[in-house]
Amino acid sequence: MTFKMWIRAGLPALLATAASAVPALAQDAAPAAAPALNSGDVAWMLTSTLLVLLMLVPGLALFYGGLVRAKNMLSVLMQVLTIGAMMMLVWVIYGYSLAFTEGNPFIGGLGKAFLAGVNEESMTGSIPEFVFISFQMTFAALTPALAIGAFAERMKFPAVVLFALLWATFVYFPIAHMVWGSDGYLLAKGAIDYAGGTVVHINAGIAGLVGCIIVGKRIGYGKEQLPPHSLAFTMVGASLLWVGWFGFNVGSGLAANAKAGLVMVNTFVATAAAVIAWIIVEWIVRGKPSMLGAASGAVAGLVAITPACGASGPMGAIILGLIAGVVCFFFCTTVKNALGYDDSLDVFGVHGIGGIVGAVGIGILASPAFGGAGFGEGIESIAGQLWVQIEATVITIVWSGVASAIIFFVLNVVIGLRPSVDVEREGLDINEHGERAYHT
């Protein structure tokens, strides 16, 4: 074949090949397509958001309300409802922006304050950003309400509300950003916290412990019987918490997918294991298993699996539940009695300690060798993951503890924390809200 013949035969093929390559090159050079909305994910996240709201009202309100004395029942319901409503407004004004926009490793910016720039077209993964905002709003509403159980029955209503506002601003939003923010310090370290073991439970548990110590003991604590007035309400509240927790945990994946199935089964079995563990140890120590103990065990199991539910296997979840049931029982009884602090509704003993068990335990149970789903980004060993989990736990304890103490001291100086002795003895319901839960 002569050179001319070769050109005549090969040039058309060469041009055709080049032409076919142009669209591919153009496609490679084009910007990535925007995330596509997935209606299944949206439906699940709308449902999850409502399930977490169910945890707050009526779940937490009834759980806490049943544990206090009848004269303070409405005060607890009022505190939970008011804090929840206030935090929903704070969240959209500046909380969401501080927690989830880029700023620095410890706090976000104000670029989305008042939800600036967010509209119906804004997306977070496969769901509208408005749905993500609403889902995370329920976490922000629930967390400060958890803390108040530690100093229930002895703190003035204005002080409770202001504490929740200041604590969310200076404690919850920064910790949420460190753990879940795209440029967060602990996220960059590879810390695992699927649904809020550090952000929600350790955070609230430490704040509760600090609060109950600074506010002081209830009048008559250790000298008089201060029994729950309605364990039936507490059981109903605990049951609603368990149901709502599936939104809390499973919803944190933001998708209806295979991971959601793993998180669901983990949430079931860890909770069940903690109930059984608490019942058994209480039966051995006290001679009788109590309904209050079983309900407390359920919450302890739910708390422990929260940070671990996306990284643990089901057998690991059972281990966490069993450990949480025993350890939380020990802290709610032996440790509390030995140290003498009045954690009214065992917020530290259940949420603080249960959160620590889960946050640290997942450092081991995330390993595929134990059936886990794998370590955090950039981590390749149990030792590495365990160290990061301990670091995240310690940072949360110190940040929440120090900031909470400052807030309580400031509020005590400015408006005072406690009502008068007469008001506390008569009850907060009638004195602070002009109502009684029950009329005889």
Residues 173-213 have pLDDT tens digits of: 999 999 999 999 999 999 999 999 999 999 999 999 999 99
Report the alpha-carbon distance of residue 247 to residue 263 in Å, rounded. Answer: 10
pLDDT tens figures, 245-254:
999 999 999 9
Report the alpha-carbon distance of residue 55 to residue 62 in Å, rounded. Answer: 10
Let me know: does 262 contact 77? Beta carbons within 8 Å.
Answer: no
pLDDT of residue 439: 85
Residue 123: φ, ψ to 5°: -125, 145
What amino acid occupies position 13? Answer: A
Q: Which domains does the chain have, with CATH numbers?
A: 39-433 (1.10.3430.10)
Q: What is the mean pLDDT of residues 115-134?
A: 97
Residue 306: φ, ψ to 5°: -55, -50
Q: Residue 173: how many CA atoms within 13 Å on its side-chain side?
A: 28
pLDDT of residue 15: 36
Q: Which residue has the tokens 């006290």?
A: 286
Q: What is the mean pLDDT of residues 72-91?
A: 98
Cα angle 241, 247, 250; round to 5: 120
Q: Whole-model pTM?
A: 0.91
DSSP 77: H
Q: What is the mean pLDDT of residues 367-381?
A: 94
Q: Outline where 258-381 has alpha helix (H).
A: 258-286, 291-305, 314-330, 336-339, 347, 353-365
Residue 14 pLDDT > 80: no
Q: Outline where 148-202 has alpha helix (H).
A: 157-167, 173-180, 185-189
Report the alpha-carbon distance of residue 107 to residue 19 in Å, rounded. Answer: 50
Report the alpha-carbon distance of residue 430 to residue 408 in Å, rounded. Answer: 25
- The pLDDT-based confidence of 35 (bands split at 50, 70, 90) is confident
Cis peptide preceding 58, ω within 30 of 0: yes
- The pLDDT-based confidence of 31 (bands split at 50, 70, 90) is low
Report the alpha-carbon distance of residue 382 to residue 375 in Å, rounded. Answer: 8
Report the alpha-carbon distance of residue 195 to residue 217 in Å, rounded. Answer: 32
pLDDT tens figures, 222-267:
999 999 999 999 999 999 999 999 999 999 999 999 999 999 999 9
